[in-house]
Amino acid sequence: MDPLEQGKNSPTLAVIILNWNAAADTLACLAHVAAWQSVTPRVWVVDNGSQPADRKLLREGLAHLPLAWSLIENESNLGFAGGTNCGLRAALAEGDWPILLLNNDASIDDAGLQQLMATLESHANVGWVGPLLYHGDKLHSVGRRNPVLHHNTLITELPAAPILPVDFISGSVALVRAALLREVGLLDEDYFFNTEVADHCHRSREAGYLTVVDCRARAEHNLDRSSALRSTLHVYYIIRNRFVYVRKRYHTAKWPLTIVWAIYCLLLVGKLRLSGAGATAQAVYLGLVDGVSKRWGGQNCRVLAACGQDRSQDASPDKLPDRLPGASQTGQ
């Protein structure tokens, strides 16, 4: 059966899920999506250059799901931004439904999803809306702060109001208005992984759209399923992408902010080397150098090689964790 014929009703929501060598996780996530009762999802699964065996498993599993789905197969890892943009283009080409970005290690139930959609529908000036993010029983995030103006981006205190305007939200569970994407554009692929949603929320704010967290909606994000490369590759993108963000969004204050973050990075490199964390120190240094010299986009293999790790491990952008080792939390 054509996947498009599997949905019994007209779609009311587009869903984009990335996969990178984690077909079992992706299929489990899709099974949860298939159980929704309040919406009729139209799903785009974007495979970011997985190994043949994983891609085969994904295809076979998709064939048995009671969902309207399409599989987009990229020949290489395009990062979170590039992979997500493939799904966004496909979704926008077919309609103007709200679009949910959903990590394959995250989930949101019917009630939470309905709340997000109701908030988006009833507030014309809201472009992005996300839920409270929990890791098990622990509240992980009530939205995020600007990653250039704050070292710790996570907001972890519940507000009194049900809706909290924030600088940006996590891309792990995020509902975005299709009209906003048509007006502002898609995610900036220069970031590759981490900070691309922060950048888009910044651009959205300049266009008059708010980013909010609806505290009446809750989602789960399993942070235990993180990459083993958290001390190098993830650190590199956190560091480098702050400089990318400064260059792109802070033209007047570009050099003062660049100098501040460069000093921070150099101090962090020294601290890490003294503590024996040489590979992490190298990742921070590369992030600084590449950020200042505008060496942007995907740098996985190069960074892994420089940090003394196996360059064949082309780490999954949607599997990297939220914590910079030895520092406060930050994240995508």
The string over 45-54, giving b where at least 16 C-beta atoms fall within 10 Å of a residue's C-beta and e elsewhere, is bbbbbbeeeb
Q: What is the pLDDT of residue 317?
A: 44
Q: What is the pLDDT of residue 324?
A: 38
Contacting residues for 168 by C-beta, under 8 A, at least 6 apart: 128, 143, 144, 146, 197, 198, 200, 201, 202, 211
CA distance 240 to 294: 9
Both structure tokens of 125: 């000036």
Per-residue pLDDT tens digits for 56-85: 999 999 999 999 999 999 999 999 999 999
Higher pLDDT, 42 or 226: 42
Q: What is the pLDDT of residue 228?
A: 60
Both structure tokens of 165: 């305007």
Per-residue pLDDT tens digits for 229-260: 778 999 999 999 999 999 999 999 999 999 99
Task: Over range 175-185, report the average pLDDT.
Answer: 98
Taking the alpha carbons at both ends of the chain, their separation in whole angstroms is 37
CA distance 164 to 215: 7
Residue 117 has pLDDT above 90, yes or no: yes
